[in-house]
Amino acid sequence: MLKKNLRKNNILGNLRIYRRSLIYQTKEFFQNSTLHGVRYIAETGRPAGEKFLWFCLTSMGAVTALIIIMSLWEKYQTNPTITGLDTDFENKNVVFPTTVVCPKHVFDYNKSYEMALNKLANSDAAIAEKILPFLELLPSLSHESFNATEAMAKSLDVKGIKDLTLRQLAFAVGTTMSTYTPSAISCEDALKECKYRDELITCCEHFQPLYTEYGFCFGFNSRFESTETEDIKAGPPDVLYETDKKWALFITPSKDAKVFLFSNEEYFGKDFGPRIEWSEGEMVEVRITKKNTFTTDDARLLTIGQRKCIFHDEIKLKYFPDEYTFSSCMKDCRMTKAVSACHCSPPFYRPVDNVKICGIDDLSCLRNAWPNITNIKECIQCELGCSKTVFNIEKLIKKEVADTPGILVEFLTWPIIRYKREVLFGWVDLLVSFGGIASLFLGFSLLSGVEIIYYFTLRACCMVFENRQELYEIEQRIKNKPPPPINMSLRMQSYKAPIVVTENDPLVVVEMSSLNRSNDKPPDYKDIGGRIRKAEKDYSTFAKSLYKKPKTLPSYINSTNSSWEYGHYLP
């Protein structure tokens, strides 16, 4: 217990000494600092009013500098880049936009009935007719159709159908690609005629099948191709040259369809809306322009929140580890939420190792979770890519009755518009601005900051160990200093000068009765060593004497005394 108390007292003593050292170093810093106006605040002998004035001026300078610095910091955090038109480039070739055709009816009744009858119903026509409505929904399965698909699946009690995943059923295959025939329509049934650069092409050689959140589609210049087991990369993209006869793609769908246009870099999904809705017999002409935005490499020094974009190699997504794009990030976010909620992946997302594809029994979970899966508020971490290409429709001409029905997608002009995002206000500019403002208002520099750290850390600690005795003496001197005298007199101190008494000079006491009261005015204060201000006279002393002397009537005046006395008057 004694050791504990000694240790506690030792710690408290060290803290008191360190506190005294900090106070001492604070005074030293104020006296020797190079900051404007600080030395006058702590200078000994300066009037209090002057010290207060310098304190106010220094505080105003510090507050003003802080306000300007905070505005510069906000600019650096929110708007450090600028996007402008880039003219220093030449576009010899242009990648044609990915054109996805999604038929509104992708179900092939004859093929689906044959598969249901021979492979799922064991040649039982009644069971095949019961399975057929369920198979009809799978090729166009999406988030919105989970309710209808789940209601249809509840009525199914077919042996073996629950052993297959929804993706297998959608592709209408069993263990091998050749076992079953597909229930969805083929490319030959979806597209009649195709032209690229005003030359006839084979549609199914250039349009790859895609299983997406819009169901089965066919994509021209697509980045990926969908199979039952994986999404495989397609070949090199088709490009246009300035010398081509026509910068266009012409297609004639077999049935009503929706057409999507987007960059070849993106992943197709719910993030894109249909640009064209085509019906049989119509002729739709679309004139587009391409706008590309790229970001200089010096923007990598900024954070993602500052530049508001992500470089293609900056982030690796969990389920889409290829180059980063905004669409891949949103798709990865939806897939992550689906796997977290139902422990399986919806069939229209790319198959991933170690994650099973949802089956019929998982439709109930998907139906309940799909509002949360498609909620974009939980995917706020997804930013646009720093290299982004968009295609704008400048002209759209639709003829409901045409001699040559189809869809024409053509570039309006060849010069491609390109924008450059570059750093306008970097960290070097921020440092220069901070230094200029702090120097203008306070005379502050980088070494001033080092000086502050030096005084209040290194120097204060070293003084505790090197000059400990001096700190003890200062502490004892302050403790032993007598308190200032307290004057408890009721007299007004401004009327009387202090009387200094020395040992050689005896104290002279003057009695009130010996004062000359021969006139009507109080005695001269010079007789007792005091001084009174002319405009403020105090007669309180003489008023008291009126009550110390007996008052008499005028008829009883002493005739021997020729001088007038106060007692002659009786009020």
CA distances from 370 to 184, 241, 340 (A): 24, 44, 12
Our CA angle for 252, 207, 225, nearest 5°, is 150
Domain ranges of the chain: 2-77+436-479, 93-423, 493-571
Of 472, 479, 456, the C-alpha closest to 17 is 472
The encoded tokens of residue 275 equal 């640009």
Please tell me the distance from the alpha carbon of residue 108 to that of residue 183, in angstroms, as a whole number: 6
| Strand locations in 1-123 (E) | 81-85, 93-95, 98-103
For the entire predicted model, the pTM comes to: 0.69
The encoded tokens of residue 492 equal 């007004």
The encoded tokens of residue 474 equal 């200062």
Burial class (CB in 10 A: 0-12, 13-18, 19+), 348: buried
Contact call for residues 248 and 414 (beta carbons, < 8 A): no
Tokens 């999406």 found at: 142
Q: Could you count the other beta carbons within 10 Å of the beta carbon of residue 315?
A: 14
Of 544, 540, 539, the C-alpha closest to 513 is 544
Per-residue pLDDT tens digits for 486-503: 777 766 655 444 555 444
Q: Could you count the other beta carbons within 10 Å of the beta carbon of residue 201?
A: 18
Beta strand pairing call for 257-262 and 417-423: unpaired
Contact call for residues 387 and 338 (beta carbons, < 8 A): no
The encoded tokens of residue 120 equal 């799922």
The encoded tokens of residue 134 equal 């369920």
Of 20, 25, 28, 23, the C-alpha closest to 458 is 25
Please tell me the distance from the alpha carbon of residue 542 to that of residue 376, in angstroms, as a whole number: 95
Contact call for residues 406 and 331 (beta carbons, < 8 A): no
From first to last of its 571 residues, the chain has per-residue pLDDT tens of 666 677 777 777 777 777 778 888 888 888 788 788 888 887 877 888 888 998 899 899 999 999 999 999 998 888 899 998 887 777 778 899 999 999 988 877 777 777 777 777 777 778 778 888 888 888 888 888 888 888 887 777 666 677 788 888 888 633 333 344 455 678 888 899 999 998 999 998 899 999 989 988 999 999 888 888 888 888 888 888 888 889 999 999 998 999 999 999 898 988 898 999 999 989 999 999 999 999 999 999 899 988 999 999 999 999 988 889 999 999 999 999 999 999 999 999 989 888 999 988 888 899 899 889 988 888 888 999 999 999 999 999 998 888 889 999 999 888 778 899 999 888 888 889 988 998 888 888 888 888 888 888 888 888 887 777 777 777 778 777 787 777 777 666 554 445 554 444 454 444 444 444 444 445 554 444 444 444 454 545 544 454 445 544 454 445 455 554 544 444 4
Which H or E run contains 289?
A: strand 283-295
Please tell me the distance from the alpha carbon of residue 491 to that of residue 510, in angstroms, as a whole number: 18
How high is the pLDDT of residue 1?
65
Please tell me the distance from the alpha carbon of residue 511 to that of residue 498, in angstroms, as a whole number: 19
Please tell me the distance from the alpha carbon of residue 306 to that of residue 427, in angstroms, as a whole number: 12
